[in-house]
Amino acid sequence: MSPQPTRVGIVGHQEVMAKGLAAMLAEHPDRVRLVEVDHADVVLYDVFGMHLVNGADLPPLVQRRAVVLAVSRDLRPDLRARAVAAGAHGWVSMSVRSLGLVQAVEDAAAGLEVSEQDRLGADVGLTPREVEVLALITQGMSNQDIAERLYLSINSVKTYIRSAYAKIEVTSRSRAVAWCLQNGFAPADD
């Protein structure tokens, strides 16, 4: 008797993303089955939601104990970092091939770590929260704005900044922004 296909739901904030993921999954009906999000073993979450709706739809998914995989835009690692910091269990790049996507879904359902090795800031030991704080600094936010956005105290924000600055070996906000831009963080939206 073969194992049951892993049930997968999709939270796509753009039709092209949702339909593209669905088509990729459809190539492997023996391994995965597309279902409504409420009945999914694994939910694929389009990180564009971190920008479009400020990630407001992610906490309910995580709270219902779904395994959530962020589908990351490679040019917006800041959105990926925010999704992981908000509770996504891992991430997969939009550039993944269908077989890799299915394997990531199966690994996530089995409780294995799925995040790719090139996680933003991993090479210098940044935590997901430090990445998120640096991403918001790079977007031009003040410490107070960051505290409000992340529901942290101002002192916690300052602690994350100090530890991140030490890891990336900078001593000023402008040098931190320069480092971030050189290392894959998205520039501020104009």
Side chain identity at residue 119, one-letter code: R
Least confident segment among 4-8, 59-63, 151-155, 165-169:
59-63
The residue among 126, 62, 53 whose CA lies nearest residue 88 is: 62
Place of tokens 């992610």: 58
Give the pLDDT of residue 49: 81
**pLDDT at position 175 over 90:** yes
Residue 153 CB neighbour total at 10 angstroms: 10
**Least confident among 16-20, 45-49, 123-127, 184-188:** 184-188
Check residue 69 and give its pLDDT.
92
Does the pLDDT value for residue 190 go beyond 60? no
Half-sphere exposure of residue 30, counting CA atoms within 13 Å on the CB side?
A: 3
Residue range 94-107, pLDDT digits in tens:
878 889 899 999 99
Give yes or no for a contact between 87 and 114, defined as CB atoms under 8 angstroms apart. Answer: no
CB within 8 Å of 170: residues ≥ 6 apart: 176, 178, 179
Reduced to 3 states (helix: H, G, I; strand: E, B; else coil), residue 15 is helix
Order of strands, edge to edge, in the sheet holding 6-11? 32-34, 6-11, 42-46, 67-72, 90-93
Task: Give the pLDDT score at 1.
Answer: 43
Read off the pLDDT of residues 8-49 as tens digits, 9 standing for 90 and up: 999 988 888 899 999 999 999 999 999 999 999 999 999 888
Name the pLDDT band for 118 (thresholds 50, 70, 90).
low
Q: For residue 189, what pLDDT is reported?
A: 65
The whole-angstrom separation of Cα 171 and Cα 138 is 15
pLDDT tens per residue across span 44-94? 999 888 777 777 888 888 887 779 998 987 657 778 878 888 888 888 888
Hey, what are 118's tokens?
Answer: 């090139």
Q: Between 119 and 14, name the one with better pLDDT.
A: 14
Question: H-type helices in the chain, by residue range?
Answer: 15-26, 48-52, 58-63, 77-85, 98-109, 128-138, 143-150, 154-168, 173-182
